[in-house]
Amino acid sequence: MGFFNCTCADEEVSTRTPNMKPVKTFVAPFVGSIDQGTTSSRFIIFDKHGQVVALHQIEIQQITPKEGWTEHNPEEIYETTLTSIKGATDKFVALGYKISDIKSVGITNQRETTVVWGKSTGKSLHNAVVWLDTRTKSTVEKLVSKTKSKKTNEFVSIVGLPLSTYFSGVKLNWLLEHVPAVSEAKSNNNLLFGTIDSWLIYKLTGGLNGGKHLTDVTNASRTMLLNLETLQWDKKMLEFFDIPQNCLPEVRSSSEHYGNICEGILKGIPIAGVLGDQQAALVGQRCLKPGQVKNTYGTGCFTLFNTGNKTILSKNGLLTTVAYKLGPNAEPTYALEGSVATAGAGVKWLRDNLNMINDAKQINEFASKVPDTAGCHFVPAFSGLFAPYWKDDAKGCISGLTSFHTKHHICRALLEAICFQSKELVDAMNADAGQPLRSLKVDGGLTNSDLCMQIQADILGITVERPAMRESTALGAALAAGLSTGVWTSLDENVEGGFKLSDGHDYFESQILESDREVKFAAWKKAVEKSFAN
């Protein structure tokens, strides 16, 4: 997600010998992964053992026309994706490898971000409305008033999600009501809608010239329009949101042939895997058995609990979502998910809005200069509070400040806030699962901070397990694509032809007493209450 970036392909290039042969041995065939996130577009090339061979990343502009609004330019997303592909493949070729050795490409993406474009033009009709955008508060209120129960959880049994500003069906409803170009396109049967994966597939496979309008089950499950049992668009939900089915992409599995890339250096190579970013991280961490859990620390923070082939409806504020469906004929796997809106985005806010730090890595340095926050708490509810509260009207706050506090305390308070919010998600999962988790697998940019991971272990009281190779999200999309194209026959390392990643892990154990943990958490809960709207 751009914070504390991990593997750097430039480091790989710098180890080349004069005859351009890499010192590190990579094993063909290779799989590419488009990782289009909230803050950047990236392309990563993996070898057969899941090693990063080459990587290129470009930040994308955050457009904030009003308070609470966040947009991206869809055309910029596509152009930066093409540029990142070229940057990574240039490094790949410089290492002495051939483009023909790249067998397929996977896509992973920011999930609920909503794109609308014209069927006749292939051009976007409005900036993409980003997942953390909160402009739809009044839309949510209007939609809740239409339900029989007058509650946000009216449709949880169908779609696994509450009515919230978070999900793309709500955003599309807003666009239809507030943007004349979008409503006109709907009236003229000229409207196409999709999440970022759909937009990229459409553009990469030709756009107006035969571009495919497709999505996968994981992204579709974040729209509030997909029936979790049938894995098809639900007519009741489409009617409720007043969305025509002819504007929606066809729903596919997460691992199959979506179409071939039609331009650039990867022309002719199949797009063969698609997963929303958090589901991709679940696959990349290979949490493929019921009961396994991962937490990704990126722009937001997302904890997924693999529940197997059955949907489990949470009683503790979690979401029910599709985890993956690895092949057209494969059984779907589901997950419980806890979502935190602001994690790395809080680091970016300290850097860009307050100029408190010069770069993201500095938060770790500053937070390490003090042993604790001295009673200061930071609740970064910039987009309201997601799980387990689901309060769209919560506001960010910093409490407990005295003249003693410095920027070092505030930096540490933000890291603690991210870890406290993750604890709330884990506690909810423990309650739904009926038995406590014993360890947590982690990935994402913020996991590069040893301090943050130690704080997390202290607050949770369980082992935090961090892989040495932390590009789990991009790896998950690559695994889905490679599985579809025969690079791997299975993701089970015990099966011949399965995926084998020789990879070390770091383990963080709690270093504080249970009584101290309880005191800290109680103080955090009081701080959270101060963020609630009066």
The string of DSSP codes covering 183-240 is HHHHHTT-EEEEEHHHHHHHHHTTTTTT---EEEHHHHTTTT-B-TTT-SB-HHHHHH
DSSP three-state, residue 509: coil
**439-443 vs 114-118, strand pairing mode:** unpaired
Residue 280: inside a domain: yes
**Does residue 135 have a pLDDT over 60?**
yes
**Does residue 299 have a pLDDT over 90?**
no
- Write the DSSP string, 97-162: --GGGEEEEEEEE-SS-EEEEETTT--BSSPEEPTT--TTHHHHHHHHHHSSS-STTTTHHHHS--
Residue 191: inside a domain: yes
439 neighbors 429 (Cβ within 8 angstroms) = no
**Does residue 300 have a pLDDT over 80?**
yes
**Residue 66, φ and ψ in degrees, nearest 5:** -145, 165
Closest residue by Cα to residue 378 from 345, 337, 332, 426: 345
For a pLDDT cut of 90, what percent of the chain falls above it?
80
pLDDT of residue 392: 84
Residue 148: inside a domain: yes
Task: Specify the CATH number for the domain of residue 18.
Answer: 3.30.420.40
Q: Is the peptide bond before 29 cis (omega within 30 degrees of 0)?
A: yes
**Does residue 1 have a pLDDT over 70?**
no
Write out pLDDT tens, residues 90-115.
999 999 999 999 999 999 999 999 99
Distances (CA, A) of 60 to 204, 265, 346: 18, 22, 17
Residue 503: inside a domain: no
Total count of domains within the chain: 1
DSSP three-state, residue 94: helix
Residue 368: inside a domain: no
CA distance 290 to 407: 42
Write out pLDDT tens, residues 165-221.
999 999 999 999 999 999 999 999 999 999 999 999 999 999 999 999 999 999 999
Residue 210: inside a domain: yes
Inter-axis angle of helices 450-460 and 514-529, nearest 10: 100
Give Cα 68 distance to the centre of its chain.
Answer: 20
CA distance 220 to 320: 13
CA atoms within 13 A on the CB side of 387: 27
What is the span of the domain harbouring residue 123? 9-284
pLDDT of residue 261: 98
Mean pLDDT of the chain: 91
pLDDT of residue 453: 95
Write out pLDDT tens, residues 236-286.
999 999 999 999 999 999 999 999 999 999 999 999 999 999 999 999 999
Write out pLDDT tens, residues 21-55.
445 789 999 999 999 999 999 999 999 999 999 99
pLDDT of residue 361: 86
Write out pLDDT tens, residues 396-451.
999 999 999 999 999 999 999 999 999 999 999 999 888 788 889 998 888 989 99
pLDDT of residue 339: 84
Residue 156: inside a domain: yes
Inter-axis angle of helices 168-178 and 137-146, nearest 10: 100
Residue 316: inside a domain: no
